[in-house]
């Protein structure tokens, strides 16, 4: 009970700090925008001052603006992932249930499947189902790859190479496994 109260207080504190930091960032960006607009009204017209200003602007665009863009993108990714994970029922199911579902998705015949497919077609179908399942999101991919029974038909190197290359599994007569 005490741990749950402490955890809730920590979560509430973290949420408050995040919201406060967001407010500070928003205000700082508004102030920065106003200073950029103010600077624009006083842009020098002569060569020496203009070159100095241009070099300072270039430096800002290449350092500050790059850093801001990268960190805002990272924060957006983190928040989106956290939101999705928070609302997902995936993490609330026991691993045994998720594992059984994954195994059925990959290995159980679908209603339209042939009763006795050729080995080539069966392996291709399994690989395509595995690829599609592991492509849903990072949580599913991480769980699926950790579930050794799911991937035991293919070596882990084959599976990872497909995901690293970002291309779907091979299909047709030219496919090799």
At 142 the three-state DSSP class reads helix
Within 10 A of 173 (CB to CB), how many other CB atoms are there?
Answer: 6
Mean per-residue pLDDT over the chain, rounded: 83
Q: What is the dihedral of CA 73, 76, 78, 81, to 10 degrees?
A: -130
Q: CA–CA separation, 38 vs 43, rounded Å? A: 9
C-alpha 157, offset from chain centre: 22
At 65 the three-state DSSP class reads helix
Instruction: Write out the H or E segment, with its range, that includes residue 66.
Output: helix 64-87
Question: How do residues 100-153 score in pLDDT, each as one tens digit?
Answer: 999 999 988 888 887 888 888 888 888 889 889 988 888 888 898 888 887 776
Domain ranges of the chain: 2-89, 92-165
């Amino acid at each position: 009970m005490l741990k749950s109260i402490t955890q809730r207080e920590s979560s509430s504190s973290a949420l408050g700090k995040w919201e406060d930091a967001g407010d500070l960032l928003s205000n700082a960006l508004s102030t920065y925008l106003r200073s950029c607009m103010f600077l624009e009204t006083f842009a020098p017209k002569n060569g020496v001052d203009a070159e100095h200003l241009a070099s300072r602007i270039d430096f800002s665009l290449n350092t500050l603006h790059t850093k801001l863009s990268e960190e805002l993108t990272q924060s957006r990714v983190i928040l989106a992932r956290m939101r999705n994970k928070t609302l997902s029922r995936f993490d609330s199911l026991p691993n045994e249930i998720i594992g059984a579902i994954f195994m059925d998705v990959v290995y159980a015949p679908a209603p339209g499947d042939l009763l006795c497919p050729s080995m080539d077609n069966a392996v291709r179908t399994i690989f395509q189902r595995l690829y599609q399942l592991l492509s849903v999101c990072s949580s599913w991919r991480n769980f699926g790859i950790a579930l050794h029974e799911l991937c035991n038909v293919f070596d882990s190197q084959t599976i990872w190479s497909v995901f690293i290359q970002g291309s779907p599994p091979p299909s047709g007569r030219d496919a090799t496994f």
